[in-house]
Structure 1
């Protein structure tokens, strides 16, 4: 395996040029290296040791603010969501037609750490062993991030979201769903570009089955926090066993009870059943699309279309 040596591009900030750089480079928390195999095909190597170490530091050291200790679980999760959105927020939304896979990964790595802090506001999650916490995070972070992104887009753009097919890609960057080009460069074989059709189908379903209902419901922040926490524990309960499964069952019951009191006491909404059903339908739709997408990715991996070697493949299993 040979490492390519080309002169660095004149504009290292360009999304396309970034992926053409062939030296070892340090993304935030991740070492990014492009090599070539014996056929001259590029291979991306991602060493995510730094990212995993930083996540472990959050799991070991992060303590929620003292002034929220008296809050119940649902209110704590709402506080955590507000904190997340303060970090991953931009007052200026720029529409783009192209984004690089490397930029998506860099932003996603920052979001993983913030999602970890969100989960750390849950007492049952904090009570899990480190290895169980890490396994849960690997299982849920992509779904959590995608659902929060759609919820944020619905809040920002309202009906324009599904009428114009708008989605926020990363904080501050939005695109028209059917016009965006994701520059994968070295990440996939050129012959795999035909799978774009299938990915567009998943995106269309997300807009119809998740985005549009989110716009119509106009969720409060507390309802959004419930939705994201519920999704996290549902997925964890399905994929993991032992202490995680027990925590999942306990936390889902707690969240349901506290949402009931939120509707009755805060919103004065005694007949909330139809609204809750719609929220649960959104969660279930997001999960179903995600798992079908992941099954498709498994098939793609069988044909070795991805040109990515990750030091811990489970973290990016929904990507590569």
Structure 2
């Protein structure tokens, strides 16, 4: 690839690819426009192109097989399909570099896009609205899905040992791993961890502990995830998105009620936990998880730590909003 000039942050950058393969051109060496130090341009567009393709089509490969399912059941079906890729004996890793983590996000972005597209309300929105929602919710989706999947695999160990699934193949213990930021920052892992480590640890109390106490079923996990995503997107984007969120959440609330009634009649699936006798109590505890997750996101929106993070990186993102949520 020949050297080319691009304009980022209103300054010309001379860039050279870090990776030579055409499909993998994500990281480029640059002179940072603000610090004038060596840095990287991370091309978010390159890493989300597969997700964007999913979001810009109305075609679902499994449409015929799920046409009889109600909206909540469709979302449950989707998350189960996504989790079929998950290894139940993941390898524990203790160190990886930032660029490897960046590449790993691509898979999680595609999972998020695929899951979102199983909602008719989401698919009914214009393409630019779907992409706008995806940009602000993928990281929230990833956090909740990964912590609940970790709890599903490791049970109480997840809470006791602070285990977290990094990907479908790998896991980390939060107090026994580090990220090598040397390619993108002069600051070491400890400084980043001091700023953000506590944020990650709080999810064990917000997500993992109630998951284990309630023994949440796939349907309940999916219901919570839908509530988090659509409430967050509706609040951030308002208008057409808020209207779609209201319709979808009303619909799945009725579906959840029907789910509990089926369990009460003894017609639920064996793999579905749930507890129809304590429906109101369980729902209240589930909504507590939703509200706590939304409160954390609000804190992240208002914190100066996000700006602090970007100042610590010698990185220019082509679309930094992907990593501010």
- Among 267, 280, 287, the alignment partner of 1:280 is 287
* Matching residue of 2:136: 139
Contact 1:143-1:287 within 8 A present in 2 as well: no
CA distance in 2, matches of 1:147, 1:177: 16
Aligned to 2:68, the other structure's residue is in SS state coil
- How big is each residue's C-alpha offset from its partner over 1:92-143, in whole Å with a ceiling of 9 and x where there is no partner? 3111211222222212112211211111110010000111000100111001
* Matching residue of 1:151: 148
2:54 is aligned with 1:47? no
Distance 1:33 1:311, change over 3 A: same
TM-score, length basis structure 1: 0.84
* Matching residue of 2:321: 314
The aligned runs of 1:239-318 (5 Å cut-off) are 239-266=236-263, 268=265, 269-294=276-301, 295-300=303-308, 304-318=311-325
- Among 16, 29, 48, the alignment partner of 1:34 is 29
CA distance in 2, matches of 1:40, 1:246: 46
Distance 1:229 1:37, change over 3 A: closer
CA distance in 1, matches of 2:32, 2:112: 36
The aligned runs of 1:1-320 (5 Å cut-off) are 24-25=18-19, 31-37=26-32, 41-61=37-57, 62-63=59-60, 64-87=62-85, 89-190=86-187, 194-266=191-263, 268=265, 269-294=276-301, 295-300=303-308, 304-318=311-325
CA distance in 1, matches of 2:46, 2:125: 22
Q: How far has the Cα of 1:50 moved from its partner?
A: 3.0
Distance 1:37 1:127, change over 3 A: closer
State the number of aligned residues: 296
CA distance in 2, matches of 1:94, 1:301: 29
Q: Which moved more, 1:97-106 or 1:187-196?
A: 187-196
- How big is each residue's C-alpha offset from its partner over 1:62-90, in whole Å with a ceiling of 9 and x where there is no partner? 32421111110011001111111123x12
Contact 2:32-2:314 within 8 A present in 1 as well: no
CA distance in 1, matches of 2:81, 2:144: 17
Q: How far has the Cα of 1:160 moved from its partner?
A: 0.9
CA distance in 2, matches of 1:52, 1:110: 9
CA RMSD of aligned residues (A): 2.4
Q: Which moved more, 1:279-288 or 1:230-239?
A: 279-288
CA distance in 2, matches of 1:250, 1:114: 23
Where has structure 1 moved over 4 Å in runs of 4 or more?
26-30, 36-40
- How big is each residue's C-alpha offset from its partner over 1:13-69, in whole Å with a ceiling of 9 and x where there is no partner? xxxxxxxxx952168665211334597733121123334433332123332421111
Contact 1:80-1:118 within 8 A present in 2 as well: yes
